[in-house]
Amino acid sequence: MRLRERWEDLPIRLRAVLSALFLILALLLLWWLSGWAWPTRALAHRALEREHLFGRGEIVAEGEITHAEDASPFGQSGTHFVVSERDSRYAVSVLRPKWGFLWRSTEDLFWSYQVLIPTEEKPLAYGFLVSDPIYTVRSGSVGTSGWDYLLLVASADPDIVRVEVTMDLVSRNELEQDPDWGLHHGVTVEATETEPGSGLWLAHAVPEGRNGSTYVALRGYNAAGEPVYTYIPQ
């Protein structure tokens, strides 16, 4: 009661100022507990732009991240992505909700924020949005039978209107047998443009395999179906 009496003895203006300070401190504490989450995906992306000194770009794409039904995501995977463009560079953030109404980066994934820089010489650049294993039970034990990949491909060439992606898991022994093993045995999918004319494509591929290096080949075609650019890893 004495504390309450002392509080009531304070001038009204002082009590109002102290109440506002307490509210601000409480909100800051809540924000810190959320991992500095933001009320919208765009604001969360802007925070990552500033953190990585990218500058304020124009948001050109955002959407939901999809997974294969039988994939097993690592930890808390991202649910949405946001892309902004600045000086022909693309900042890509992978985000997930916090407490149902805030958004933050998936910091436990090494591709939670990345910058794609397609050039005239290499007009197609890619980054991962999803890389999750697919487990199956064989002879009573659980093993990896494949991987679920979702790639974002950015183009610097307006003539490219269609993109194909070939993916595989290639072991050292397979490379010794055939240096182009991934190209000959991988899964080829046609990427889907996020919006017509955006120059951004999503490619979802599920190559089979237990282990090995991730193999990614890209092909870009013009409106006549002719190849404009091909990237084959060496």
Express each pLDDT in 145-166 by its tens digit.
Answer: 788 999 999 999 999 999 999 9
pLDDT recorded at residue 92: 97
Half-sphere exposure of 110 (CA within 13 A, CB side): 3
Confidence of residue 144 (pLDDT cuts 50, 70, 90): confident
Lowest mean pLDDT among 20-24, 68-72, 77-81, 152-156: 20-24
Using alpha carbons, select from 79, 78, 86 the residue that is nearest to residue 112.
78
pLDDT recorded at residue 12: 73
Express each pLDDT in 165-198 by its tens digit.
Answer: 999 998 888 877 887 888 888 999 999 999 999 9
CA–CA gap between residue 134 and residue 144 (Å, rounded) = 6
| CB atoms closer than 10 angstroms to residue 192 | 11
DSSP, residue by residue, 129-162: EEEEEEEEEETTEEEEEEEEEEEEEEES-TT--E
pLDDT at 34 over 60: no
pLDDT recorded at residue 111: 79
Of all residues in the chain, the percent with pLDDT exceeding 70 is 82
Express each pLDDT in 100-131 by its tens digit.
Answer: 889 998 876 677 999 999 999 999 999 999 98
Q: Is 22 helix (H, G, I), strand (E, B) or coil?
A: helix
User: Which residue in the block uniquely carries the two structure tokens 């009661």?
Assistant: 1
Q: What is the pLDDT averaged over residues 58-72?
A: 89
pLDDT at 226 over 90: yes
pLDDT recorded at residue 11: 76
pLDDT, greater one: 134 or 28: 134
pLDDT, greater one: 20 or 196: 196
Tell me if 93 sits within 8 A of 79, measured CB to CB. no
This prediction has a pTM of 0.85
pLDDT recorded at residue 218: 97
Q: What is the pLDDT averaged over residues 52-73?
A: 90
Tokens of 77: 């995977």
Q: What is the pLDDT averaged over residues 47-58?
A: 95
CA–CA gap between residue 95 and residue 112 (Å, rounded) = 7
pLDDT recorded at residue 20: 73
State how far the alpha carbon of 172 is from the alpha carbons of 127, 151, 182, 212, 218, in Å. 23, 24, 11, 7, 21
